[in-house]
Structure 1
């Protein structure tokens, strides 16, 4: 009796002597659960767990009954005193195996993937570790749902559902990366994102304009970076992760380290990555047109053509890159969390390989063509407030500043004029997002967003003989502005436990102002002021018929407002052509419908299929134009045909995405997926293939995995395009393609066989070995300017604690 009394007294003293913090974890893998709602019987008191599953329950009475509710777990009801007597840990059971089916991108708040009518691809931290990508573009390609084009080794332009470049939106931690100078030509900005820093990637297939605004026409890729954790005890949390990697095809040498510290209410994460790439070696079996038999060099001030000792080495493709990151978190109270993230990336100069292999009359057209350092700085401050209030349950406030810098540098073969253009963008974004539960089965998401981009642009021409430098026509109007302001709201309602409806609207206002310098070109206007707007929406339903079958139906609209690149750019497109500004552009509008289903035929076998159809109205396209009534002007000393971006086209894109998963044993799995896209552009009653509609592509993985060892044997493959199936702009680039029997360019089909192996020696040490392109195929992905890697051995070692 005495011992019982003493035990009870000790328990009571313990409860009141220490902070009443508890940790909520999942029964599946014992990982902390974020955003678990804790409330009493009449909901007069509540709390929410933070990102480390920690919540303070001091506000609740000792014998009060508490309810624990989480989006992917079963409801748990217990008492406070029972929790505190059980090592202050609460374990929740997973609901319908949906633990890994939570997404953030669709509303910026947690939602069950099964209740969202759109098609979402999620790449978890485990997927990223297994893929071990060289760049973030390679990570997207590994998903099997994104086709990636590369103009050079330092590149990677995603294609999703027939759209690419500025018709796709890239976001990092919810902040848009797209700027006012994102162009319709292939982009490589995604390589600035450090794959070692990524914790999770979500890809929205199809329009996402209701949440993300302009540019989210074909899809949205959202990269979520690692977040440092808090300590649940008196001892500070300390973690370290270090990786070194080598790849044989481009002599890659990579080193990465990140380390984190965490106290009870503060934490810090620092990340450093350095990568050095040498010239890329292509495969030995494939079209001879891809070989590099010679290259340009300068000897004693004279441009000459030199023989390449190994034609499989793609001369002038190597570069190096540095990525730095610093993230801080502060928990000012149980309800308020502050986060600061600073990301920095810069490259060396990197040659544009597809421009360096162009020839005319057997001679190279360019002696030099390279991008200057691609620099990106992102500073993002976020405040999260989680408490049940009248207007919201959760609030996210964010301000982000980004700085982008890039340059283009080129000189004709045998020419004396070295042209350089340099662009800078200062991007500011302010947003606030809310979520509110109206009823037990109804949630509202709403918010405001404003974006300001200021574009700086300058150009010069240098005579390499005399070293004199003269100003030249800048690519964009200097000190021009692109401004966006928007408000959105969406509602998710469960009409039935098996039927969820999600719909939303967004209004976006866009303003552009620019001043034009007529020192080099006589523009018919001195300034440009454009005001435009767009109302977009979506409506869809997710019908979970039973645990084995679900249907998704979605209708959505999207838009892309003209940016500075569309309306204000001046550049020499090709020999004899010059692109000039057009202030009369209107927004592109997209209308999309998609239907999909998922079938869990048995515990071992699952299928998923989705079909979509998208119409792009008022599509931007580059066509002949007149400036001051003239269709030819002199530009950089050459008489050139005038062209401009115009609303002169309508595009239709349709396709099917399918996947299958067969689990032979708990350790052995077969996964396969295929994507088929068709796209046509209609102009003046004629139809042409759409440039960014990729050929059919997919991958198949055969994976064995246990606690210590992983082996993934897989194949990646792509269909091809005949000359007639190429878009007209691609038919004009024979230097990118193989040549058919008629002497016309075409894009051949290709495949690769590969394997990945990974072994965990201890809880701290692991190593991986990957052999890509085992059969040493020589191939180029569609529209790419560089051939892919030949047989490639990748070795990596990782240490973490």
Structure 2
């Protein structure tokens, strides 16, 4: 049905002639931003450029859509969008799967700085939720390897979360503020946000705080799921100012903490289990502290026309309190990663046809890790081997250059990047020392050809790689699913060659895209069963044993009728993956099924709009050997599902907007493939936004 809607929209748009690609270039595309190709992005090319004109496949969720979705975590805003499948292992957390890849295989950025660190798992993890979704202005996703501009972790793509830029006009000081409240019925949640900004031309600041209180979740079967409540506190500060003509400084601080979040799937029995793995499992606490200084130069000279220098520091705290079922041993973990980074990017126009981009990066990660055990019956205390080797370091530096050549209707993007890593892991109890220095040369070539003012043929060929990080090389100890992880000091980098091609449309009445891709991964780092038993658990180890082939189709369309003011939209994404190992061929690990959404939005008048939409996913019964023993995945396959949803928004006063969103109206009981908990049942979400 979705593909039928897409085909009908394309036919209607081509017959209408579209009227040119002159839509809103502010990123505030109405309705479904993910299907809007008349917006501006900065991630795919590291400079403002229309999504229609860049060869890369992109998904944009702008500020208007973020305010409408009111996400608990940033990834919640990507549900059903083109090429982005959202997985949630436990409450207060969530990751996005892009072209079948997740975790450290997708690069995550916040205002240009890497969220990925040395302990980022190549699997679902909780760190993305430590970015405050209420503070964001937009989310940009580049689908496919982006190793020239972004380096090793951009295997499946890049997810960038951007906070608002501060821009004021005039010499007099101006003040803006917002109070925001969001209440949800399925989990009795309450989110509050307060922010204030002020400034004048050439200088401004903003300050914001967010609080989330989420209680246990009611799913579609009417049951209340235990261990699904959490609390989160966040704060942010930003200052921007001109320090000289053509020179601007920006300084920002971000802080977020979840003081005590339960690991739901470890505290309730999963598929194939008669008892939960743990009697106690709390992330206690999870915390992110981030500071960044940016120097933006817009003063052309012989070396560059514009430039940005970033200096940043990020600390991720991943402390845990656990007790396995049937044991008296209460364990405390203290894990943190400190990332320091400096990057520079420069742009230079060479005549009227070439735009040169070049730059450098340097990042250093230091890992601190400790673990203790107390016997709750005897009080005996002992120091245990930590989750990560304490004192491990990971350094990487890179240089890159790219050229954007436009001539007539033809646009060619090419680039090369050299990356070098130095990884040092000290020897510890049960774990050998490691010293690795992998390097690689990666690159890409992208093409866009203008068939008409509003239509482009696009194609991309890219090679990417990812060096093993501290998690890949040094993680040690019990894992969910009755597994015990042993370190492997002999890992090599994994690499990918990817090709995609398709059509993009962008016009006042219609925009859309349909992109097909194929990616071949070699030496992919995969957790495999060794056949041994350690402390009664199945031993697993990361190894370069997998050859992974992924292919798929990503499609989205938006069609706007001028009278009545009605907008139709639809998305569909299909991915298929196969892994080849020495033991044979099997389906790839945790590949999403066909998924997407379709809906309609009607602007009744300036102050009132209504929207109805459906989210859907087909069943997934192509399971890997790891899926079959994962208690989060039904070994018989994940059932398909669909939900009906509606939203009404009313601007009650010039400064006050109210909205009511009704999710899962049929109270469907379902679970996203690979997730560790069921989705909410019928859920009413009331949002109030007051601006002053």
TM-score, length-normalised on structure 2? 0.92
After TM superposition, list the pairs within 5 Å mapping 1:403-414 onto structure 2. Answer: 403-414=315-326
Residue 285 of structure 2 aligns to a residue whose secondary structure is coil
Match of 2:384 in 1: 472
Pair 605,230 (structure 1): closer, same or farther in 2 beyond 3 Å: closer
Match of 1:547 in 2: 453
Match of 2:220 in 1: 283
How far did residue 718 of structure 1 move? 0.3
Match of 1:660 in 2: 557
Match of 1:273 in 2: 210
How far did residue 134 of structure 1 move? 2.2
Give the conservation status (yes or no) of the 8 Å contact 1:144–1:699: no
Match of 1:334 in 2: 245
Q: Take 2:238 and 2:679, find their aligned partners in 1: how far apart are those partners?
A: 35
Confirm or deny that 1:201 pairs with 2:139: yes
Q: Of the candidates 366, 375, 378, which is equivalent to residue 290 of structure 2?
A: 378
Give the conservation status (yes or no) of the 8 Å contact 2:81–2:571: no
Pair 362,335 (structure 1): closer, same or farther in 2 beyond 3 Å: closer
Match of 1:789 in 2: 680
Q: Take 1:684 and 1:375, find their aligned partners in 2: how far apart are those partners?
A: 40
Give the conservation status (yes or no) of the 8 Å contact 2:526–2:543: yes
Confirm or deny that 1:581 pairs with 2:493: no
Pair 578,31 (structure 1): closer, same or farther in 2 beyond 3 Å: closer
After TM superposition, list the pairs within 5 Å mapping 1:192-591 onto structure 2. Answer: 192-233=130-171, 235-284=172-221, 312-358=223-269, 362-496=274-408, 498-518=409-429, 521=430, 523=431, 525=432, 527-573=433-479, 577-591=483-497
Out of 104-113 and 762-771, give the one that drifted further.
104-113
Give the conservation status (yes or no) of the 8 Å contact 2:59–2:82: no
How far did residue 132 of structure 1 move? 2.0
Pair 339,100 (structure 1): closer, same or farther in 2 beyond 3 Å: farther
Give the conservation status (yes or no) of the 8 Å contact 1:342–1:378: yes
Match of 2:569 in 1: 671
Residue 115 of structure 1 aligns to a residue whose secondary structure is coil
Give the conservation status (yes or no) of the 8 Å contact 1:424–1:457: yes
Pair 539,237 (structure 1): closer, same or farther in 2 beyond 3 Å: same
Residue 52 of structure 2 aligns to a residue whose secondary structure is helix
Out of 700-709 and 169-178, give the one that drifted further.
700-709
Confirm or deny that 1:736 pairs with 2:632: yes
Pair 686,572 (structure 1): closer, same or farther in 2 beyond 3 Å: same
How far did residue 642 of structure 1 move? 4.0
Q: Take 1:32 and 1:755, find their aligned partners in 2: how far apart are those partners?
A: 24
Q: Take 2:411 and 2:618, find their aligned partners in 1: how far apart are those partners?
A: 37
How far did residue 250 of structure 1 move? 0.5
Alignment deviations for residues 432-467 of structure 1 (CA, whole Å, 9 cap, x no partner): 110000111210000010000000011111111233
How far did residue 596 of structure 1 move? 1.1
How far did residue 737 of structure 1 move? 4.6
Confirm or deny that 1:699 pairs with 2:637: no
Match of 2:613 in 1: 714
Give the conservation status (yes or no) of the 8 Å contact 2:662–2:685: yes
How far did residue 137 of structure 1 move? 1.5
Pair 577,131 (structure 1): closer, same or farther in 2 beyond 3 Å: closer
Match of 1:799 in 2: 690
Alignment deviations for residues 328-364 of structure 1 (CA, whole Å, 9 cap, x no partner): 0111122110000100000121111111122787444
Alignment deviations for residues 148-201 of structure 1 (CA, whole Å, 9 cap, x no partner): 111111211211111111101110001110000011231121211112211121
How far did residue 509 of structure 1 move? 0.1
Pair 363,562 (structure 1): closer, same or farther in 2 beyond 3 Å: closer
Pair 694,100 (structure 1): closer, same or farther in 2 beyond 3 Å: same
Pair 615,604 (structure 1): closer, same or farther in 2 beyond 3 Å: same
Structure 2 unmatched ranges of 5 or more: 1-21, 29-35
Match of 1:753 in 2: 644
Q: Of the candidates 90, 115, 125, which is equivalent to residue 152 of structure 1?
A: 90
Pair member with larger Rg:
1
Confirm or deny that 1:595 pairs with 2:501: yes
Give the conservation status (yes or no) of the 8 Å contact 2:81–2:596: no
Give the conservation status (yes or no) of the 8 Å contact 1:108–1:174: no
Match of 2:13 in 1: none
Match of 1:181 in 2: 119
Q: Take 2:142 and 2:75, find their aligned partners in 1: how far apart are those partners?
A: 16
Pair 99,465 (structure 1): closer, same or farther in 2 beyond 3 Å: closer
Q: Take 1:323 and 1:361, find their aligned partners in 2: how far apart are those partners?
A: 36
Residue 784 of structure 1 aligns to a residue whose secondary structure is coil
How far did residue 682 of structure 1 move? 0.5
Q: Take 2:71 and 2:327, find their aligned partners in 1: how far apart are those partners?
A: 39
Pair 620,257 (structure 1): closer, same or farther in 2 beyond 3 Å: same
How far did residue 606 of structure 1 move? 4.7
Q: Take 1:185 and 1:247, find their aligned partners in 2: how far apart are those partners?
A: 29
Give the conservation status (yes or no) of the 8 Å contact 2:285–2:320: no
After TM superposition, list the pairs within 5 Å mapping 1:50-89 onto structure 2. Answer: none
Out of 765-774 and 263-272, give the one that drifted further.
263-272
Q: Take 1:178 and 1:30, find their aligned partners in 2: how far apart are those partners?
A: 30
How far did residue 111 of structure 1 move? 2.3
How far did residue 109 of structure 1 move? 1.7
Give the conservation status (yes or no) of the 8 Å contact 1:604–1:663: yes
Q: Of the candidates 578, 596, 613, which is equivalent to residue 680 of structure 1?
A: 578
Give the conservation status (yes or no) of the 8 Å contact 2:616–2:643: yes
Q: Take 2:636 and 2:61, find their aligned partners in 1: how far apart are those partners?
A: 36
Give the conservation status (yes or no) of the 8 Å contact 1:227–1:327: no
Q: Take 2:249 and 2:284, find their aligned partners in 1: how far apart are those partners?
A: 36
Q: Take 2:309 and 2:54, find their aligned partners in 1: how far apart are those partners?
A: 24
How far did residue 762 of structure 1 move? 2.4
Say what the alpha-carbon RMSD is for the aligned residues: 2.2
Name the structure, 1 or 2, with higher relative contact order (CA <8 Å, separation 6+): 2
Number of residue pairs the alignment of both structures matches: 661
Match of 2:17 in 1: none
Give the conservation status (yes or no) of the 8 Å contact 1:159–1:692: no
Q: Of the candidates 43, 52, 55, which is equivalent to residue 105 of structure 1?
A: 43
Match of 2:547 in 1: 650
Pair 382,167 (structure 1): closer, same or farther in 2 beyond 3 Å: same
Q: Take 1:471 and 1:685, find their aligned partners in 2: how far apart are those partners?
A: 39
How far did residue 251 of structure 1 move? 0.5
Q: Of the candidates 515, 519, 537, which is equivalent to residue 614 of structure 1?
A: 519
Q: Of the candidates 565, 581, 588, which is equivalent to residue 690 of structure 1?
A: 588
How far did residue 511 of structure 1 move? 0.7
Q: Take 2:586 and 2:23, find their aligned partners in 1: how far apart are those partners?
A: 52
Q: Of the candidates 62, 66, 78, which is equivalent to residue 140 of structure 1?
A: 78
Q: Take 1:324 and 1:266, find their aligned partners in 2: how far apart are those partners?
A: 21
Pair 362,264 (structure 1): closer, same or farther in 2 beyond 3 Å: closer
Residue 437 of structure 2 aligns to a residue whose secondary structure is strand
Give the conservation status (yes or no) of the 8 Å contact 2:266–2:276: no
Residue 672 of structure 2 aligns to a residue whose secondary structure is coil
Q: Take 2:566 and 2:203, find their aligned partners in 1: how far apart are those partners?
A: 41
Q: Take 1:785 and 1:576, find their aligned partners in 2: how far apart are those partners?
A: 15
